[in-house]
Amino acid sequence: MQQTKYVQLLNVIEEMGKDIKPTYAGNKNSAERLRRAIASARVL
C-alpha cells in the first residue's frame, strides 16, 4: 500500500518527537537523527 506524502510527513514528525527530549539532554545520536528527520521532512 502506497502512502501519501501527508502520511509520510506525519510519520516523520512522530519519529522526530521521540528525539527532541534526548537532544535537549545532550544526546548527540538523537540530535543527528533529528537533523536527518528534518532534512527528510523538507524533501516531502
Question: pLDDT tens, 4-30?
Answer: 999 999 999 999 999 999 999 999 999
**Residues 19 and 41: beta-carbon distance below 8 Å:** no
3 pLDDT band (50/70/90 cuts)?
confident
pTM of the model: 0.74
pLDDT for 2 equals 67
Q: DSSP readout, 6-38?
A: HHHHHHHHHHHHHHHHHHHTT-HHHHHHHHHHH
Q: pLDDT tens digit string along 31-44?
A: 999 999 999 999 98
Residues 29, 34: Cα–Cα separation, whole Å: 9
Contact 31, 23 (CB under 8 A): yes
33 CB-near residues (< 8 Å, 6+ apart): 15, 19
